[in-house]
Amino acid sequence: MTGNLAMRSAIRAFFLAAMLAAIAMPPAGAGQPLYSVTGNIATEHGAVRAIDAEEIARIGSVEVETKVLTLGDQKRRVKGVLARELVKYLGGKGQSLRISALDGYIIDIPMSDVESYDVVIATEIDGKPLSIRDRGPAWFIYPISHHPELDESIYESRSVWQVKTIEIN
């Protein structure tokens, strides 16, 4: 009987601690990193640069209306930072971007893609911030509606959602 009472007390204490921790957490996105950039970058912050909403505001966000692969044929308002502007802002040098997703997916994207096209690292679609459930916190999106040649399977494989890290090589 006393073991059962101790177990219930421990469970209550655990849930109380969890609730207090949740209350103390800042709102999602408030200064929290969305993704990180590593590799050949010029930074005083070390080998990894965390990118959050404030950093994106400093770089300058853009809004592009385009079809988004896997979301149907209608155009969506995609908001985020241009990949080439992020690379330039960080002093990045290299031939490719290695994008890693939260689910372990990794792909190398030629730097020529981000130099030739307005590729957006989106953090919002249709005015709604991307959550992990919505393929966020960031999604590497090609402007397919503006360049029909991008409506190919190779670019679909490069349209990475749930971006975790970008490595400039």
| Res 20: pLDDT | 37
The pLDDT tens digits for 77-116 are 999 999 999 999 999 999 999 999 999 999 999 999 999 9
| Res 43: pLDDT | 65
Q: What are phi and psi of 100, to 5 degrees?
A: -115, 135
| Res 121: pLDDT | 98
Half-sphere exposure of 54 (CA within 13 A, CB side): 6
pTM: 0.79
Q: pLDDT means per 10 residues in the chain (169 residues)? A: 53 44 40 91 75 94 92 92 96 96 97 97 96 94 94 94 96
Please give the structure tokens belonging to residue 120.
């957006």
| Res 44: pLDDT | 56
| Res 3: pLDDT | 56
| Res 70: pLDDT | 81
What domains are defined for the chain?
28-168 (3.90.420.10)
CA distance 147 to 79: 18
